[in-house]
Amino acid sequence: MFIGKIDNFDGKADHNPVLNEVLNYLKVTDFTKMIDGDYKIGDKGIIAKLQRYETKPAKECKPETHTKFIDVQFVVEGEEMLGWCPFSPNLEISEKYNFAKDVTFYKKLVPESCVVLSARNFAVLYPVDVHRPCGSLDEEKPLKVTKVVVKIPVELVK
């Protein structure tokens, strides 16, 4: 996983060209004027999923991994707590791999680390990054969040 603020990305970072393309797209697109849904980025199978929701207590958010896609989670408005841990065979699966949805869910993060994703922050999450998105900073007060999750086919970033 790596995290950053999109406004600090100058388009010339030492990333894979596909990641540069995605980060540039996130930096220049005004998602506040768009409706929720899926948007294609180029012609390589990259999809940006725009969504609006309220954060939830961490205990209601499921840790997950993906096999076929890298997630780039970008908060447009609001803020949320993103839980994270590295993949380990010691993690207990709560829901086995769903091929159609490309997701495995886990009981908990072990060990657990958290980062706050505020407006215009992003996190790049690889298949080895177990993550728990959508968490509230204040368990008593959910926040409204506008977020884009970009799904990048893994083979494009090898």
- Alpha-carbon gap, residue 45 to 73, rounded angstroms: 17
Tens of pLDDT, residue by residue over 26-65, are 999 999 999 999 999 999 999 999 999 999 999 999 999 9
Q: What is the pLDDT, as a whole number, of residue 68?
A: 97
pTM recorded for the entire structure: 0.94
Q: Is residue 14's pLDDT more than 90?
A: no
State the DSSP string of 76-132.
EESEEEEEEEE--TTSPEEEEEETTTTEEEES--SS-EEEEEETTEEEEE-TTEEEE
Smallest CA-to-CA distance from 148 within 11, 14, 29 is with: 29
How far from 140 is each of 48, 55, 85, 143, CA to CA, in Å?
30, 10, 24, 10
Domain extent listing, the chain:
2-156
**pLDDT over 90 for what percent of the chain?**
89
Q: Which fold has domain 2-156?
A: Jelly Rolls (2.60.120)
Query: What confidence category does residue 10 fall into, taking pLDDT thresholds of 50, 70 and 90?
Result: confident
